[in-house]
Structure 1
C-alpha cells in the first residue's frame, strides 16, 4: 500500500519536521535488533560513512537535527526516524531545505552503511555496548528496576514485559547479520507513516515522498493483550534501597473507542497529578509515600501505580491505595476534583501542540484508535461525567503488586 503523507501545515514554528514511523508487532525476538538498527541508521550512511561526515552535513543544513528512537505502543514496536530543520524564511541565503531533508532521509532509509549483509562492524559493536549499558543503568536506578520487575511478573508470557530495547539475553546473543535481517524486515513488512509539520507545500511534499521515500506500508493489526487473573498478586523482594519501591498493576475492561476518554480522566483523578486522590491522601495526609502517581496504557486497559514509600509501611501504603481506588468505584469524590482533572488533561494536550512533535504524535496515536481531531479530543474529555468514571473504575482489578524493600513488613 502506497503511503499517504500526513501533512500538518503551520507557520507557528521556526522549524519544519519530517518523521517516519515504522510499526511492527511487539516481539521479544526482534526488539533488540530493531533498537540497534534505529541507532545505526541515523549514525552513518553510505554517503556519510563516518560520524563526523554526517555531523558536517547536518551543519551544512543549518544545524538540522537527525534522530531516531524506539518505543512500545500497545502491542506494537515503533521505530521513529526524524529530522528537524529551520524554515526557509529564516535562512540568510536561498536554499530549499525541505528537499535536502528528504534527500538525507533517503540516504538514511535506503542507503545505510552496510556491506555483504553486515552493517559497519565498529558502529554495531559500539551501539551494542551502549545498549548493554542501558541494562546496567536500570539495575542502578531502583525506580526503573522495580517497574520492570512489576512488568516481568505481570506480563510473564508477553513481550510487553520488556523495555522498548528488548531483553538482555537477546541483546547478548545478537550478531551483525541479525541487524541486517531486521532492516530487511522493516522495509518489507512494517506499517509505515510519514508526517511533515511546518511551513511546507503539500504538492512538493507528495513529489519528494514519491522521489525520495517510495515506501510501501503493510498494515499491522495486533490483538490487545488480555491477562488472566493473578494467582500471586503480591511479590516482595528484599534488597538495598533507601525507600521501598511499591508498584502496582491494574487491569480494566476497556472498549478503546467508547471508554478511552473516561479511562484517561479516571487515571488523572486517581493519581495523575498533585491534586489526585493518591497524592493528596497517601502522600500529603498520611505521609506514607515520598512520591506517588499513576499512569495508563489507555488503549490496552492497563493502569500502573508507581511510588516510593517508607520501608516499614508498604503494607499500610497498599491498603491505603486500595481504599482510594474503592472511593473511585463508589463515586466518593468531589465533582470539583473531576473538573480539575479534566482541565489538567486538556491543558496538557494544548501544551503539547506548542511543539511540532505534539502534532505528529497526536496524529500517529490516531493509527491505534478511532481518529480524533484536537477539538474532538478536547470535547471527549469535557463530556466525561462521574457515572462514566465509576463505570470504568468498577471494571478494574488489582493484578500484580511488586515491592522492592529493605525489610519485610508483617
Structure 2
C-alpha cells in the first residue's frame, strides 16, 4: 500500500499537488454523525418510541436497530472505529437520558444530556444539537413555531430556548462550539390561504426563542429550510427564502440540506452565495432520489461539488459538515460507514485538485485546458491516497470495512 501511495504521490506532484499536505489537511474535515441513523429517528423519550408525524418517514425494518442509548453508543463506537480522522456527533433532543421518566420537551435540561457530554469528552469529540419539533402531540396539526394556537407556539418556543441552553453548555464543557440547528415541519398539505400569517408567526417565534445571547465560542445557531415534506406538499412555512433572509438579518448560520431543494438545484452552487452574507453555513449532506428520501450518501457529483466549493474557497472553517440520512432497509452501521466515507472521499478529491492551475486557466480564458485537466484528474490514483490515509489512521482500507461490519452484525446486531 505504501508503494502505491508513493506512485500516486509522484503523479500528483507532477500536477503541483502535495499529497502529504492533503493528508494533514484532511484532519480538518470533521463530519457530524447524525445519531438518528442508529434507531430510525425514534429517540428515547419513552420505551418503544416510534417515529410519528412531522413529514419524516423511515423505510425498512432491517434487524439490529438500536433500542437503548447503550446500544446506540455501542453502534457509534463501531462506526467511529471504521472511519479515518476525528468526527463529531449530532444529537436530537429526543435522545436524552430521561431515566424512565416522561420529561416533556419544554422541560428538558442539561442534566438529561450530561451523559452524552461525558461520552463525547472521553472520545475527544464535539457535539451538535437539534430541537425535536416533530413526533409529538403538540405537532399533530402540522404547525409548531408557526401555529396560530398561542399555547402550541409557547410550548415550542420554550423547547427551543432549552435546547439552546443545553447546546451552549455542551460547547462550553467540550471546548468546541455546538451547532444548534432549528428545523420545523410546519406546512400545508393543500393550498393555504394565509401563508403570510404563518410566516409572520414563525419570525416572531424565532425572535423570542433565539433571543438569549450565547457566545459563539460555545454555540452557533443555524436555521434549516425545506422545499416540502409529507403532509406539507403545498407550502412549507420555513422555505429557503424565509430562512436565508432570517439568517442574514439576525446573523445566524443557514443550514443547507442537499435533500431539501428541487432536484435540479445544487447545494454546491449555493455555498459561495450564502457565505457572501452569513458567517457560517451548516451542511446536511444526504442523497435525494426524486424527493427528500434521505438515502445513504454516495461519492456522486453533487457531493463532490459541495466539497470542491468548500476546499477551493478555503471555507473549511466557515462550513460545518453534517450528514442527514436514515435508511432502515440495510445494516444501519454499514450505512453510516459508507455514507461518511463517501463524504470524506469527496473532500480528499477536492484537496487533490491543482486549484491554482485550474484558476489560472480560467482567468486566461483557457477553457479547453481547464476542461482537459479536470478530465485528466478523473483517472489519477486517488484510491491509493485514500487507502494510505486509512492505513495511517489504523482503520480498514479498501473494502476491508465490509467484513468488520458483517462480523459486528453477527456478534451484536442480530442478537437484539
Bin the TM-score by the shorter chain: under 0.3
Q: Larger % of strand: which?
A: 1
Q: Which has the higher contact order (CA 8 A, sep 6+)?
A: 1
TM norm structure 1 = 0.25
